[in-house]
Amino acid sequence: MRKKVVAGNWKMNMTLDEGKGLADEICQLIKQKPLKIINNSPEVIFFTPFIHLAEVADIAKDLEGVFVGAQNCYSEPSGAYTGEVSAPMIKSTGSAYVLIGHSERRSLFNEGDKMLAAKASLAIESKLNIVFCCGESLEEREKNNHFDVVRNQLQNGLFWMDEKSIANVMIAYEPVWAIGTGLTATPEQAQEMHAFIRELVGEKYGQQMAENFTILYGGSCNSKNAKQIFEQQDVDGGLIGGASLKPGEFFKIIQSF
């Protein structure tokens, strides 16, 4: 089902108390002005650090359309992997989502397609929904390689899934040059890539899956530019980094559909 989604990626920010305060403030705002229903119920997702998951899931549990997710998971269910957190462990906190393939994981932690595919596989087995990130660097865009890059990331990291599994996935298109830089893709650039991604989903899984597939934009999205971006035909919402740490700003983005 194609959804309208605003997801906040807190990255490595917020102590436990600060994170609980942030989630609580946003949830209070949503309670005062419940999510607008457009076609189907819109969703808000908090992608928090691992330490917040259980507590934020508890804060959000009575709010329809509000979910919690982890920013990463490991590719094995349990064992001698010191410092890692697995998909079943994330699921046990009351979280419903996991983010896989964020560009910071790809570039800073060398996560390649094979690793990401293994993580996604275990996430699906653990009954977590996935937001799978893709996007090109500035150099790749300047060389006009952006479509090939995104196609390869999706084909190698994600499109091994069968139809039943892919139905639990959303894709976030995040051009790396727009993440945390203040540079946003123009609404036209976002629409162009989202339409391309939808076409790829259609080629692999059929027209109906493509029409129902949720594709988010991420990269310096804020309350000033969200409306114009979300208005694009193939943009179903946003993955928000910096602006998700400010309750008022994040709430305005939620209201931008």
The answer to whether 220 contacts ligand PEP (rule: CB under 6 A) is yes
The verdict on 240 binding ligand PEP (CB under 6 A) reads yes
Of the candidates 101, 95, 44, the one whose C-alpha atom is nearest the C-alpha of residue 72 is 101
The two structure tokens encoding residue 72: 């990463």
For 128-183, list the strands marked E by DSSP: 129-134, 169-173
Task: Output 1 or 108, the one with its CB closest to ligand PEP.
Answer: 108
Which residues neighbour 139 within 8 Å (Cβ) at sequence distance 6 or greater?
A: none
Tell me, yes or no, if 102 is annotated catalytic.
Answer: yes
Compute the least distance from the CB of residue 180 to ligand PEP, in Å.
4
On the 0-12 / 13-18 / 19+ scale of CB atoms within 10 A, 114 is exposed
189 binds ligand PEP (CB under 6 A): no
**Look-up: residue for tokens 């599994």?**
165
> Residue 71 or residue 95: which is nearer to ligand PEP going by CB?
71
> Is residue 179 near ligand PEP by the rule CB under 6 A?
yes
Q: Of the residues 43, 52, 55, 102, which is catalytic?
A: 102
Interacting residue with ligand PEP among 221, 229, 235, 253 (CB under 6 A): 221
Question: How many chain residues are in contact with ligand PEP, going by CB under 6 A?
Answer: 13
Q: Which of 34, 112, 180, 248 is close enough to bind ligand PEP by CB under 6 A? A: 180
Counting contacts by CB under 6 A, is residue 235 touching ligand PEP?
Answer: no
Q: What are the two backbone dihedrals, phi and then psi, of residue 192, each rounded to the nearest 5 degrees? A: -60, -45
The sign one gets for the Cα dihedral 176, 179, 182, 188 is positive
Amino acid identity at 121: S
| Of 254, 257, 255, residue with least CA distance to 244 | 254
* Among 32-40, 143-151, 233-241, 248-256, the segment contacting ligand PEP (CB under 6 A): 233-241
Kindly state the tokens that stand for 3.
């959804």
And the tokens for 247? 């309750």
Catalytic residue flag (residue 52): no
DSSP state of 52: G
Min dist. Cβ of residue 140 to ligand PEP (A): 17
Instruction: Give the three-class secondary structure for 36.
Output: coil
In the complex, the smallest distance separating the C-beta of residue 156 from ligand PEP, rounded to whole angstroms, is 21
Query: Is residue 135 close enough to count as binding ligand PEP by CB under 6 A?
Result: no
Find the shortest distance in angstroms from Cβ 79 to ligand PEP.
29
Partners of 237 in the β-ladder: 5
Ranked by CB distance to ligand PEP, the top (closest) residue is 241
Residues annotated as catalytic are: 102, 174
Q: List interacting residues with ligand PEP (CB under 6 A).
A: 9, 174, 179-180, 218-221, 239-243
